[in-house]
Structure 1
Amino acid sequence: MNRRRLLGAIAASGAIAAAGCLSGEDGTYEFDAEPARVPDAALSEAGYEGEGPQAFEVERTFEVGGIERRVSAASWVASYRNPERAASLLVASTPNATVAGRSVNPLVGADDADLLRRLLERGGGVDGGSVGDLEEVGTETRPILGGEATVTTFATEIRFENAGDAPIDAEGNVPALVHVATVQHDGDVLVIAGIHPRAVEEGETQGALMEAVEHGE
């Protein structure tokens, strides 16, 4: 696996907690996730484009039996966008890692809003932008990877240094809606997040893309 560190990417952010674990001679625990993606046919039908999943690595230290160990979680993130509609969709997968019965993945522990903010800002969903406060405005259930998943919708505002043609409010922000689902599948946890300007009706399209997500090689 060609691992690429994305320091702080989604780190200390939540709703993600393993598949196989390898403990090296130095006591390092290594966990590997399988990549997740949206099939090309579904992307083309929705007018989205992007690259396949890119590897990143999250590391932290963890105490096991009074001894400090290093934990490395090899994860993946894919980013897709529809430039004409200023809409993006991110699909991240990370190991549901545990050591001695405790979750060691640094992505565990925060709420969906905190997770979403870090994923969008550092995973490529809002290039050059910062995400403001997230207010939950609704939920729905969708079939994703053979199960029923809750998709939570948040209202927020995004500030760009250069917003281009996006609809900007009086304070220079772009009002936006964000849709996020977390799914456990085959030993990994997936976070799927879509974002688009509030003025653009894109929620149903992004929901269909979430339903089309595939996980594994």
Structure 2
Amino acid sequence: MSTKRFATVAALALLVVTSGCLGVLTGEEALKLSSEPAAADATVAADAGYKTNGTQTLEVNRSFSVAGQERKVVASNHVTTYEKSLDLGLFGDVKLGVFSVISTPAVEVAGETLNPIGDYSNDQLVGLIQSRYQGLSDVEQVSSRNVQVLGETANVTKYSATARVKGQTLDVYVHVTKVRHNDDFIVALGLYPQQLGDEESNILELMRSVEHPAEAEG
């Protein structure tokens, strides 16, 4: 399983949904929306053994027909990914521990938030990931807890799942949370093998350390 692909798919899942909500807007000029990058604290990530793959800007262009007018919308989202190499014995040294922070613009018009991510539960968010990544299956909720993320109380849901790694199946845990901060929604995702249960504390600490806005990681 490619952790980079996992993070990219997670981000794209959000982008597809986000870009689909903007058709109510009208005007002649293209509407450009961009989130501020979000990232984990560099020291916390290093102490937990995670290295960043950098921040990607994922841009979606859509054209909509509203009241007989065509309107182009350009939405820029950001995803910062961290990976940890884990020794899984039979599987060898595998980059499977992953933590990703996704920022997506809230999109407010006349006081109304149009980005449906704001209404999505953690179950719906992990469902987006599963539906777009065939290597992740048998997702079931295990537990939930609250942690402080960006000064807000965020509900973190833990899921058990099965992933494909080098042609073999591996039981993993997935953690998902979401908060609204300033003009963006921030979604944080963590994934690691179930046999490394102590990794949960690292994922939660990374979530607590999220910064927004943050300088884009190189």
- Tell me if both proteins adopt one fold, taking TM over 0.5 as the criterion: yes
- Equivalences for residues 88-127 of structure 1 within 5 A: 88-99=98-109, 103-105=113-115, 111-116=121-126, 118-119=128-129
Corresponding position of 1:178: 174
Q: State the 1:69 CA deviation.
A: 2.3
| Distance in structure 2 (CA, Å) of the matches to 1:119 and 1:94 | 16
Identity among equivalent pairs (%)? 29
Q: Does the CA-based 8 Å contact 1:46-1:205 persist in structure 2?
A: yes
2:208 to 200, 207, 211: 211
Q: Which moved more, 1:46-55 or 1:186-195?
A: 46-55
Q: State the 1:144 CA deviation.
A: 0.6
| Distance in structure 1 (CA, Å) of the matches to 2:176 and 2:61 | 24
**Structure 2 letter corresponding to 1:131:** L
- Structure 2 CA distance for partners of 1:88 and 1:135, relative to 1, 3 Å: same
RMSD: 3.2
| Distance in structure 2 (CA, Å) of the matches to 1:74 and 1:59 | 9
Q: State the 1:108 CA deviation.
A: 6.3
Q: Deviation above 6 Å: which 4+ runs of structure 1? A: none
Gaps of 5+ in 1: 1-5, 18-22, 164-171
Indicate whether 1:38 and 2:40 are aligned.
yes
How high is the TM-score relative to the length of structure 1? Answer: 0.74
Q: State the 1:63 CA deviation.
A: 5.4
How high is the TM-score relative to the length of structure 2? Answer: 0.74
| Distance in structure 1 (CA, Å) of the matches to 2:144 and 2:30 | 39
Gaps of 5+ in 2: 1-7, 88-95
- Structure 2 CA distance for partners of 1:63 and 1:182, relative to 1, 3 Å: farther
Indicate whether 1:79 and 2:84 are aligned.
no
Q: State the 1:135 CA deviation.
A: 1.2
**Structure 1 letter corresponding to 2:181:** H
Identify the structure with the greater helix proportion: 2
